[in-house]
Amino acid sequence: MRKDFLIVVITSPGFWDGEADCLEELLYAGVEKLHIRKQGDAKETLLKRLAPDWSSRLVLHGGKEVMEMAMRYGVPQVHGHWRAPWEMTNTLTAGSAQPIGLSASVHSWDEVGQITPGRLEYVFLSPLFDSISKPGYMAGAGLLKRPKGVTPCKLIGLGGIGQHTIGQVIDHGWDGAAVLGYIWEKPELAVERFKTLKAIVEGHGG
């Protein structure tokens, strides 16, 4: 059983009726990290609904422009480009008693190697498998097999992860998996599909 394996859910880019209800159901079902990747007013619309009860599990996508929003709603983490956090760390604690954690996205093991240890909560490395949400976006060669040795932060696999591939992510020693297409290609099954992944992780050896 991999009790320490993290399943991250990323919202779909667009906004749809009933989405806030669905996201809250996912949080009730046990999602520990919900990444809110939205444009414009949709981001704050979801925060107004979810932050009062679930702020500790939320992560905002963006850069400096979302720092103030994160502090205002008590969101403890922001996710951006892997190079951006070095600039953001100078301003993220302004007016805040609690530092905001940072995570980022990378697309190669070389980029992972350039990250300063201790700066990030974790990174998304993608695509591990052929993307579900982006047809034609193929798996990156050599990404799935995690190199031996110490890494600068936790590694979360992203890209094409679903019930038939998450076991491979666990077997290769990753710290977690981020899911998007598998969850949102059928929104009416989102909670059921998350529970399926959670059961696979809980029942997996390791």
Residue 125 resides in a domain: yes
CA-wise closest residue to 4 among 165, 156, 196, 195: 156
Residue 72 lies in a domain: yes
Asked whether residue 161 is domain-assigned, the answer is yes
In 20-168, beta strands by DSSP E: 33-36, 58-61, 77-81, 101-106, 122-125, 154-158
DSSP label at residue 138: P
For residue 159, being part of any structural domain is answered with yes
Residue 1 lies in a domain: no
d(Cα 193, Cα 121) in Å, to the nearest integer? 26
| 39 falls within a domain | yes
* Token code pair at residue 5: 């394996």
Number of domains within the chain = 1
Range of the domain at 117: 6-203
CATH number at residue 70: 3.20.20.70
**Residue-level pLDDT, tens digit, the chain, 206 residues:** 567 999 999 999 888 899 999 999 999 999 999 999 998 889 999 999 999 999 999 999 988 788 889 999 999 999 987 665 545 554 555 555 567 899 999 999 999 999 888 889 999 999 999 887 877 777 877 899 998 887 899 999 999 999 999 999 999 999 999 999 999 999 999 999 999 999 999 998 65
